[in-house]
Amino acid sequence: MDEIKVNSWEEFIAQAQSLRSLQRDMVFRGQSDARWPLSTTLERTKSRMLFKDYYQIIGRIKPQIESLTDNEWQIPEYPEIERLVGYYDDFNLMLWSGRCPAYAYMVHLRHHGFPSPLLDWTRSPYVAAYFAFNGARDRNGRVSIYALADQRFTPSGNKMRLVYRYGPYVRTHRCHFLQQSEYTLCLFYEDEWWFDNYDEVFTTGREQQGFCWKFTIPATERTKVLQVLDQHNLNAFSLFGSEESMMMTLATREFEKVRT
């Protein structure tokens, strides 16, 4: 992973646009503290977990979610998944071909705060910037925006961390579309399929799973960036569409203004 330190919002946009002219189908991810690694909400809850164990949990809570939301998700039964994850080739082919079991349901859980193995990205560097700067509280620190591009031929094999990319065509939570979302899963096979971390998957070498750049930008740019994004109707309300997000947008407009 290449780390690129820029000193202003304008410098970041110029470099991001230059990258996009060279790489197709890029996705971006904003984080409000440049010291944070790429990690999923599941990883922050439980460091390592079998795919089948997580699937069993989300299957167990599904009736409660469906009762509260009036939605229904048709997903494979747990015994079928338990059988599939015992084999490398069959499950790997399934994941590479875009058939992640219960994907739409997992996206819904992710957008509602349930611990998830999905790492969320966006096709827009501006949406990524909103998430990076909106949560920035240490004005002496730096935020980070990651840019990810697939490489033409991705290696795969037993006992390798593998990154699978999913989206955007799925029927799920409306925020998925408002935020131009896509997702990645990082998995590792050793007798069974495990969720794993992103520590080395973008390091140049035999197991490199894609091209990734990490831009770091001073958090002092926060007010300016949020104001520029809002002028283009990119704010909490346009990304979430709730009454709470409308209040957040109005508060940002009234209390955080660039002083000239």
Quote the pLDDT of residue 259. Answer: 54
Instruction: Give the pLDDT score at 208.
Output: 77
Mean pLDDT computed over 52-75: 94
Q: Determine how β-strand 142-149 pairs with β-strand 119-122.
A: unpaired
Banded pLDDT at 6 (limits 50, 70, 90): very high
Tokens of 55: 């699937």
| Residue range 65-85: mean pLDDT, rounded | 92
CB 166 within 8 A of CB 184: yes
Least confident of 150-159, 175-184, 218-227: 150-159
Do residues 128 and 28 touch, judged by C-beta distance below 8 A?
Answer: yes
pTM: 0.90
Which residue in the block uniquely carries the two structure tokens 């859980």? 109
Pairing of strands 161-166, 181-190: antiparallel
Band (pLDDT 50/70/90 cuts) for residue 260 is very low
**Per-residue pLDDT reduced to its tens digit, 38-52:** 999 999 888 789 999
3-state helix, strand, coil in the chain (%, to 5): 40, 20, 40
pLDDT at 206: 66
Mean pLDDT of the chain: 90
**The pLDDT of residue 59 is above 80:** yes
Q: 20: buried, middle or exposed (CB in 10 Å: 19+, 13-18, 0-12)?
A: middle
CA distance 164 to 170: 16
Evaluate if residue 238 carries a pLDDT over 80.
Answer: yes
Comparing 70 with 23, the larger pLDDT belongs to 70
**Band (174; pLDDT cuts 50, 70, 90):** confident
DSSP string, 68-118: HH--------HHHHHHHTT-HHHHHHHHHTT--TTHHHHHHHHHTT---SP
